[in-house]
């Protein structure tokens, strides 16, 4: 028979100041731990495969894949650092101390901002590739992409350090009892944060992809009308355009899933509520946000043949062979 746990103290040795554990079913708690742990492990493994693939095989060192590599790094850190801590928080008590509490929320904010920044860069990359293909090789170079990625992470680290400055100095300010880890951002700061890290970037992403898909549809109609008249050289150009359109569609799926997973997380702020753990950081919103880190490599596996091929080479340990980095992946 299922037993219902009564309210217990997080720290029984501090009966007057300790928080109380929420009432929960023991069997349900075990099931939740198992499911969330599997999601965390899957997120780490899949994103590690993406990182190894793009880093190891030279043919995959393209500007677009460098952006995917940056996104995979942020997703890996979500699965490696944030998910395990969130699993511990499902018990309702914080046992890691005030310093770890501050660092956890800081890391959470940084990785969220970095993911949004990476999505903006990916959208801009596809926009140039589809809408200005002749200038793409000169405008979007590996060096420029690396600089943009560094700027994205640097801005994310410094920006969140500013908005969380007071919280990082006194991470236990808003805790009502011992064993709680709460961050509260005032309405004005929260509104600015939502505009800079959600509304603004999402607007840019949506506008760029609307433009991309308009051009893709136009190119598709043009190709259908001219397909019978293309020469052998023209066929190569057609194949190249088709490859770019397929990449745009694939990354479009990534962006759509990104929007679906991120919107519930930011909804309370958009509704004008304070950004506190009791509201915006609800279990559903946070874990839907985290699941986006697991979904991205799954999308790559479904749409990118090079990723499936690289995973096969990694799992079979063929990447340990000499000159495996020069293998033909595309």
What is the average pLDDT score of the chain? 80
Q: What are phi and psi of 191, to 5 degrees?
A: -65, -45
- For 54, the token pair is 């793009």
pLDDT for 179:
79
pLDDT for 225:
64
Residue bearing the bigger pLDDT, 81 or 249:
81
Q: For residue 324, count CB atoms less than 10 angstroms from its CB and return exposed for 0-12, middle for 13-18, buried for 19 or more.
A: middle
Cα separation of 295 and 284, whole Å? 16
pLDDT at 6 over 50: no
pLDDT tens-digit readout, 86-119: 888 877 788 888 888 889 999 999 998 999 899 8
pLDDT tens-digit readout, 258-271: 778 877 777 666 65
When pLDDT is averaged across residues 274-299 and rounded to a whole number, the result is 71
Domains of the chain: 26-222+234-326 (1.20.1070.10)
Could you tell me the pLDDT band of residue 198, with boundaries at 50, 70 and 90? confident
pLDDT at 127 over 60: yes
Are 231 and 270 in contact by the 8 Å Cβ rule? The answer is no
């Amino acid at each position: 028979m299922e037993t219902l746990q009564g309210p217990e103290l997080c720290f029984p040795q501090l009966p007057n100041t300790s928080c109380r554990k929420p009432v929960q079913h023991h069997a349900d708690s075990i099931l939740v731990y198992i499911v969330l742990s599997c999601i965390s492990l899957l997120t780490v493994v899949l994103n590690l495969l993406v990182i190894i693939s793009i880093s190891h095989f030279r043919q995959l060192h393209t500007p677009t894949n460098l952006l995917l590599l940056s996104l995979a790094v942020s997703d890996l850190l979500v699965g490696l650092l944030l998910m395990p801590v969130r699993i511990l928080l499902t018990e309702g008590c914080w046992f890691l101390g005030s310093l770890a509490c501050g660092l956890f929320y800081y890391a959470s904010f940084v990785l969220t901002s970095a993911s949004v920044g990476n999505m903006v860069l990916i959208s801009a990359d596809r926009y140039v590739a589809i809408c200005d293909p002749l200038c793409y090789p000169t405008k979007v170079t590996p060096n420029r992409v690396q600089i943009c990625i560094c700027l994205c992470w640097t801005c994310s680290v410094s920006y969140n350090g500013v908005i969380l400055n007071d919280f990082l100095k006194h991470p236990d300010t808003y805790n009502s009892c011992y064993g709680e880890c709460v961050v509260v951002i005032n309405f004005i700061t929260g509104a600015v944060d939502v505009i800079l890290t959600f509304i603004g970037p999402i607007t840019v992403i949506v506008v760029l992809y609307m433009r991309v898909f308009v051009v893709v549809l136009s190119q598709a109609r043009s190709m259908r009308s001219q397909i019978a008249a293309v020469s052998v050289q023209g066929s190569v150009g057609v194949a190249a355009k088709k490859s770019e359109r397929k990449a745009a569609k694939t990354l479009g799926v990534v962006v759509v899933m990104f929007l679906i997973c991120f919107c519930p997380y930011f909804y309370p702020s958009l509704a004008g509520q304070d950004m506190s753990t009791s509201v915006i950081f609800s279990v559903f919103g946070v874990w839907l946000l985290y699941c986006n880190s697991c979904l991205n490599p799954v999308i790559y596996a479904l749409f990118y043949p090079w990723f499936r091929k690289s995973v096969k080479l990694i799992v079979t340990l063929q990447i340990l062979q000499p000159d495996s980095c020069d293998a033909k992946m595309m």
